[in-house]
Amino acid sequence: MHRDCYFDGEVRDATVEINALSSAALYGKGVFTTVAIYDGEPFVWEKHWRRLVSDAQTIGIDVSGFSEDGVRAAVDEIVRHNGMGDGRTRITLFDNSPGAIWPSGVSGTTSLLIITAEKRNETDGLRLGISPYPLNSRSPLAGIKSCNYLENQMAREECKRRGFDEAIRLNERGEIASACMANVFWLKDERLYTPSLKTGCLAGTTREFVMEDLECIEVEAGVETLEHVDAIFLTSAGIGIAQAANYDGKELRRVNRPIIAIMPGRGR
């Protein structure tokens, strides 16, 4: 991560603080989005902004003090300040209001934090396992990119302890939902598939971009489906589109399907 960030109206050192008695600190009440930066420009910005505002409104965060143009200008400012070409930025909205269970006199405003970093370089030879932790498609946070992301992180850390880079998560019905920190696609007989939003997976912006660019079928499918696929791909703003090299100990062949080439810097 870069040393400087944008926080509540100014570029400053990234050692910022949020109030320890706020809903953000006590309950993780906040939303975020990670945006890929290519040649200094945020990729599919409109999709990120739309989801960020929608998620904030869904969990009750006041975003009336923010405009799309204002936040985009803040992103541009910190990207220029940190001298970024290609990389990633995370935009977070923290709810500073007091919680009902632990009321206090803290301010009820919403804080905006924007941090930047280089691209993640962990996609070569990607090894996928199966997470033992199910995703609850009926959770009120299903499909919301909230700051309460510990479950995802714990699932990823568990799979890494077993020698995998990422893991496929199933929902409570045993359907393929996502990876721990990414959406998932698979190729079978020249057809591209991805889990339906009904599985509880996140409506990822890169997922949406792929589905707009390529013909893709949304399904609710059991994990046994992945035993017979030709290829598996993970997508997120942090990694772009990455093809798995190994799934549950089985080597996967490289395919010529141009799904990876649709991303900026990867063929066009």
Rg (CA), the chain: 19
Which CATH number does the domain 4-117 belong to among 3.40.1710.10, 3.30.470.10, 3.90.1150.10, 3.10.290.10? 3.30.470.10
Model confidence over 19-67: pLDDT tens digits? Answer: 888 999 999 999 999 999 999 999 999 999 999 999 999 999 999 999 9
Nearest in space to 217 (alpha carbons), one of 186, 253, 259, 260: 186
The confidence score (pLDDT) of residue 256 equals 63
Task: For tokens 């300040």, name the residue.
Answer: 81
Given a contact cutoff of 8 angstroms between Cβ atoms, the answer to whether 208 and 197 are in contact is no
Model confidence over 165-214: pLDDT tens digits? Answer: 999 999 999 999 999 999 999 999 989 999 999 999 999 999 999 999 99
Instruction: Please state the separation of Cα 51 from the chain's center in Å.
Output: 11
Whether residue 265 has pLDDT greater than 60? no
The two tokens of residue 51 are 């989801």
Given a contact cutoff of 8 angstroms between Cβ atoms, the answer to whether 169 and 133 are in contact is yes
Which CATH number does the domain 126-262 belong to among 3.30.70.890, 3.20.10.10, 3.40.50.300, 3.10.129.10? 3.20.10.10
The confidence score (pLDDT) of residue 260 equals 65
- Give residue limits of the domains in the chain: 4-117, 126-262
CA dist 248 and 246 (Å) reads 7
- Strand arrangement of the beta sheet that strand 10-13 belongs to: 10-13, 4-7, 110-117, 87-95, 30-38, 41-42
pTM of this structure: 0.91
Write the DSSP symbol of residue 176: E
Strands (E), 56-215: 87-95, 110-117, 126-130, 166-170, 176-179, 183-188, 191-195
The torsion of the CA quartet 111, 115, 121, 125, rounded to 10 degrees, works out to 0
Given this chain, do its domains 4-117 and 126-262 carry the same CATH topology?
Answer: no
